[in-house]
Structure formats: structure tokens, C-alpha cells
Amino acid sequence: MSEIIVEVGDRHIREINEEIQDLCKKNSKIRIVNSLSRHNLGIGLPPNCELYFEGSVGYFCGGLNTGAKLTIERNAGWALGEGMSDGMITVGGYAGMSVGAAMIGGTIHVKGDSGPRCGVAMKGGNIIVEGKIGYQSGFMAHSGKIIALGGAGESCADALWAGEVWVAGPIDGLGVDVNVIEPTAEEVLEVDEILKPLGLQDSSRDWRKMVSGQRLWYFESRDANAWLMI
């Protein structure tokens, strides 16, 4: 598969995305250059195409991805991969707030830290962060796994629904209605299988698995202590 260069620069973002979509229909391997940290690049991409972004990108890169493979050389702004249903997104550095917001499938791999609310309202898929996840990561996650290898910020897993937050390393503070449980050997093996293709499997990690305390599943409006801190 030959590589095709797409120049971003100061072109209109719709023109750029239309060009990328047309190239993806040809199963092309695409290199995005001179991205200038522009927003909304590579939206709604189909399966069977690969994109490599030189440098950094702005917010919502890879949003609504349906199966493409994206690699970002450096950093990414807010809402990386928001609403994606399939595919793979890899970030070489830091990713901003709301990585994988409302995603329903696929994998996001952040090699650095992530900002606040990583995996907010996610409905499926996996987010792997080699560094630290930010404040209130996992907020109201309904399904899927957030796996942090370098610790977590304050209010971790706040108001979690049925998703899971796995952390190796220090946690600055837990959110509302969170239970920290000891994972079973089978569950640890499942996480290691997710990490193995990324070269991150390590059986010596001391995992903490966070799940919903389920108090908010059935709270009564008169029970203010159950919901006013959300």
C-alpha cells in the first residue's frame, strides 16, 4: 500500500476531511503533514485505512471513527476519538480532556498522560494510558475499560455506572460512589491480553480495579448525600 501525503496548513477543514475520506475509499495509507494542531481532523473515518499525523492535532481528532487506524506523532487536544465505534488511535504524547468521550468500541492508546474526564460517558471499548489519567476520569462510564499505568488524579471513577477503571500507581482521590476491589486472576489476565499487543504486559503490576458502588443506581431524590456531590 503506497503512502499518500495530505497537506493541512491553512486549508478549510472540510476540504481536508473530504480529501481524506476519498483516499480512504481507496484503502490508502495517508500521512498528514503541517497539521498545525488544527481541530476536527480525520472525522468519521471508515475501516481499512491508516493515517499518520506528523506533529500534534487539536480537538476531536478521530471523532466518530468506524474502524480506521490513526497514529498521532505528538500530542492531541480535547475529545480525541469521541463517539468512535471501532478502530485504533495511538497518541505519542499527551492527550487533552475527555479522551474517548462516549466511545462505544475500539481502542485508544495514549503513551503520555491524559487530561481530565478521560473516558467520560464511554459505552464500550478500551482506553490505555501509559501515564496518569486526569481529574474525574471514568465519570459516568457505562461500559468498557480505562487502564492507567501511571496513576490517577482526584475524583477517579466518579459516578461510574458499569464501566471499569484499572489503575497501577498512586490515586490522588476517589470520586462519588466508587468501590475499589481486588481483581481476580482471570480479570488480570484479561487486562494483560489487552496490553500485550501494545508491548505493555507486566504481570508484576499491583492493580486497583474501580467499579460502581451502585448506590446511585437506585438513589431516592430525598437522599441528598447520595447525589449532591456529583
Q: Which of 34, 29, 35, 33 is nearest to 51 (CA)?
A: 29
pLDDT score at 219: 66
Residue bearing the bigger pLDDT, 34 or 2 = 34
Provide the whole-model pTM: 0.95
> Alpha-carbon torsion 15, 19, 24, 29, what sign?
negative
| Residue appearing with cell numbers 486549508 | 11
pLDDT score at 89: 99
Band of pLDDT at residue 216, cut at 50, 70 and 90: confident
Looking at the predicted structure, is the pLDDT value of residue 223 above 70?
A: no
pLDDT score at 217: 82
What CATH number is associated with residue 182? 2.160.20.60
Q: Number of structural domains, the chain?
A: 1
pLDDT score at 220: 65
pLDDT score at 27: 76
Looking at the predicted structure, is the pLDDT value of residue 131 above 80?
A: yes
Q: Which domain holds residue 176?
A: 3-227
User: Are the C-beta atoms of 89 and 72 separated by less than 8 Å?
Assistant: yes
pLDDT score at 122: 98
**What is the per-residue pLDDT across 142-167, written as a single tens digit (0 to 9) for each?**
999 999 999 999 999 999 999 999 99
Looking at the predicted structure, is the pLDDT value of residue 230 above 60?
A: no
**What is the per-residue pLDDT across 74-96, written as a single tens digit (0 to 9) for each?**
999 999 999 999 999 999 999 99
Please compute the mean of the pLDDT values over residues 166-180 and round it to a whole number.
Answer: 96
